[in-house]
Amino acid sequence: MQNFQETGLRNELLDAITEMGFETPSPIQSKTIPHILSSDQDLVALAQTGTGKTAAFGLPVLHRIDPKTKNTQLLVLSPTRELCIQIATEMEKFLKYMGDIKVVSVYGGAPIDSQIRAIKRGAQVIVGTPGRTIDLINRRVLNLSNINWLVLDEADEMLNMGFKEDLNTILATTPEDRQTLLFSATMPKEIQNIAENYMTDPMTIKMAKRNVASDNVQHFYYLVHGSDRYEAVKRIVDINPDIYGIIFSRTRAEAKDIADKLQADGYNADALHGELSQGQRDQVMNKFRSKQLTLLVATDVAARGLDVNELTHVINYNLPDDSEVYVHRSGRTGRAGNQGISIAIVSNRDVNRIKEVERFIGKTFEKQRVPAGEEVCQARLYNLISKVENVDVNEAQIAPFMDDIYAKFEDMSREELIKHFVSVEFNQILAYYKDARDLNIKERKQRKDRDNGKFTRFYINLGEENEGFNKLKMIGMINDNLSQRKVEIGKIDILQKFSFFEVDANFESEVLTAFSNFSFGNSKVVVEKKKGKERGGGGFRGNRRSGGFKGDRKPYPRRGEGRKPRYRG
């Protein structure tokens, strides 16, 4: 398929997407549009974020919708309110010349009354998050008994965020003869189960995995102590006066903490996380898009649906555990032909992860030194001089004030005037960076046995909400339940409702056996091997503390837009 004109789509849709700049269908669009237009067969499409999935399912379904009836004919489910809004907005653009078809987005964090009124007025297309969709079904506002199409967008993310039961509930309320279109980046067991239980002989389309980073992005890493991450970020920001970027954190609590510190230190920064109301989120996003904010601190989930093409930098406050997440993060800069920079702040513990990410993205990270205080001051000074040199002077506006200004400075020499000018701008930053310490650390040589070692990652159904459960308790439980107390333990991550821990892979079966009939307080303990690649290196022996980050590796939304994540494996 060379162009959209060959698809057979309605002229009204073709006119709309032509105005939007659509020319040649993407690979996923080339395969899905003809299928959905000509067949009622269910479809499983495996494709990464950013491949044009909304048009891939939206255009052909909108072509087939009956505009004469106001009943809901299409339901699109997405994992977050941000993606929900993005999908609905794009579909409304597709429908510019088909005014009889209405789209309503439903999601938590926004008044439900207005969503109810919009549905009652008639909406052929509903785009929603699972939580709010179920709420509307329970209120008998949303009737799915006659829908013709059900789209599950980013299905793996919905399962990862704990929507398995919600999806089962929604799917059970829809007619059996609907056409189900499932889009997912990966095909875990739970997705296969949905296909087997709720889909009929689905056709599968699998696109090539996009794990290669953009050629327009440079990848740097800075090696510091974990406690110096924030100071390192400040110096990176200070030495790049024109920075316009996102700082990615692992948890919403961390995002808020970083943003609060940046604001207190005088930076134009704010946080984007699941605790914000929709109004607060929109306010933050409007400021960021208009560049009133130059730094946005966000979790991966909160950043979904954020589409800004001019970002200069992406800063990973911590490297994500999933290299594919790094690709998504770094891909937010270097867009629309611009050059971008993706930065990782790492400690010695994370150096091996840099190598893993390099292999995954097919790019090399360049190690950079955190700039010294003198370097920061020099960069800021030269940037100011350049701005002064190149500023547009409006003679007419400043003319009435110039005589008084000349009189004020007539006793100053040229050299004195420049010194005063520089001091006004730089006294504060010069004082801050006076005698600033070196944040860079030497790369520690990894012990050979640790480099070659492998860890198995386990899920355990205990978390912060279980009184008395913490990292030290987890270490004690491992040591007490295994016959050998010198088993090497890797990272331990305590989350709210569940946790993860790593143990030498040679003892995998022993761990599973040891915890098969174990209780903690009144809770029956469940330990399961987490699916995915085993990770090498960086553990500790015996009862030494884990250096792992205490927090949720994948930040989670509030109840209004979804549930806290359950075990994925």
CA distances from 78 to 55, 155, 199, 328, 555 (A): 15, 8, 18, 17, 16
Q: Going edge to edge, which strands form the sheet with 295-298? A: 269-272, 295-298, 245-248, 313-316, 340-346, 217-223, 366-368
**384 pLDDT exceeds 80?**
no
Question: What counts of helices (H) and strands (E) characterise the chain?
Answer: 20, 21
- pTM attached to this predicted model: 0.52
Domain residue ranges of the chain, discontinuous segments joined by +: 4-206, 217-370, 375-433, 448-536
Q: How confident is the model at residue 346 (pLDDT cuts 50, 70, 90)?
A: very high
Tell me what the mean pLDDT of segment 151-161 comes to.
Answer: 83
State the pLDDT at residue 49.
Answer: 64
Distances (CA, A) of 448 to 188, 445, 453, 535, 536: 34, 9, 8, 15, 11
Q: How far is CA 161 from CA 33, 165, 167, 249, 272, in A?
A: 29, 11, 11, 17, 18
Percent of the chain with pLDDT strictly greater than 90:
34
Higher pLDDT, 192 or 229: 229
- Residue 445 pLDDT: 59
pLDDT band at 185 (very low <50, low <70, confident <90, very high): confident
- The token pair at 223 is 């090696």
* Cβ atoms 333, 217 nearer than 8 A: yes
Asked if the domains at 217-370 and 448-536 fall in one CATH topology, the answer is no
Of the pLDDT bands very low, low, confident and very high (cuts 50, 70, 90), residue 76 is very high
Q: What is the DSSP string of 334-402?
A: S-TT--EEEEEEE-GGGHHHHHHHHHHHT--PEEEPPPPHHHHHHHHHHHHHHHHHHPPP-HHHHHHHH
Quote the pLDDT of residue 142: 94
> pLDDT-derived band of residue 305, with 50, 70 and 90 as boundaries?
low
Q: What is the pLDDT of residues 398-449, one digit of tens each?
A: 889 999 988 988 888 888 888 887 787 677 777 778 788 889 988 875 544 3
Question: Which residues are within 8 A (CB) of 220 and not within 5 positions of it... i.e. 6 or more apart?
Answer: 341, 342, 343, 344, 365, 366, 367, 368
Tell me how crowded residue 372 is: count the other CB atoms within 10 A of its CB: 17
Q: Once rounded to an integer, what is the mean pLDDT over residues 262-280? A: 85
Q: In the predicted model, is pLDDT for residue 451 greater than 50?
A: no
Least confident of 7-16, 234-243, 475-484, 500-509: 475-484
Domain 4-206 has CATH 3.30.590.10: no
Q: Which CATH number fits domain 217-370: 1.10.300.10, 3.40.50.300, 2.40.40.20, 1.20.58.220?
A: 3.40.50.300
On average, the pLDDT of the chain sits at 82
Please state which of the ranges 125-129, 275-279, 309-313, 512-516 shows the lowest mean pLDDT. Answer: 275-279
Residue 565 has pLDDT above 60, yes or no: no
Q: For the ranges 10-14, 39-43, 388-392, which has the lowest average pLDDT?
A: 388-392
User: Does residue 545 carry a pLDDT above 60?
Assistant: no
Please check the confidence at residue 563 and state whether its pLDDT lies above 90. Answer: no
pLDDT band at 36 (very low <50, low <70, confident <90, very high): very high
Give the Cα separation of 245 and 513 in Å (integer): 47
pLDDT over 80 (residue 463)? yes
For the ranges 75-89, 309-323, 360-374, 484-498, the lowest mean pLDDT is seen at 484-498
Bigger pLDDT: 487 or 75?
Answer: 75
Question: What local confidence, expressed as pLDDT, does residue 186 receive?
Answer: 74
User: What are the residues whose beta carbons fall under 8 Å from the beta carbon of 542, sequence distance 6 or more?
Assistant: 479, 485, 486
Q: Mean pLDDT, to the nearest integer, of 184-202?
A: 82
Q: What is the pLDDT of residues 54-66, one digit of tens each?
A: 999 999 999 999 9
> Taking residues 520-543, what's their average pLDDT?
62
Spell out the CATH class of 448-536: alpha beta
Q: What does 521-533 look like in DSSP terms, one character per residue? A: TTEEP-EEEPPS-
CA dihedral for 514, 520, 524, 528, sign (positive or negative): negative
Whole-number pLDDT of residue 127? 96
**339 vs 325, which has greater pLDDT?**
339
pLDDT of residue 356 exceeding 90, the answer is: no
pLDDT digits (tens, 9 = 90+) for 79-132: 887 788 889 999 999 999 988 899 999 998 788 999 999 999 999 999 999 999
d(CA 370, CA 30): 46
Most confident of 145-159, 481-495, 518-532: 145-159
What are 120-153's pLDDT values in tens digits? 999 999 999 999 999 999 999 999 988 999 999 9
Q: What is the band of 2 on the pLDDT scale with cuts at 50, 70, 90?
A: low
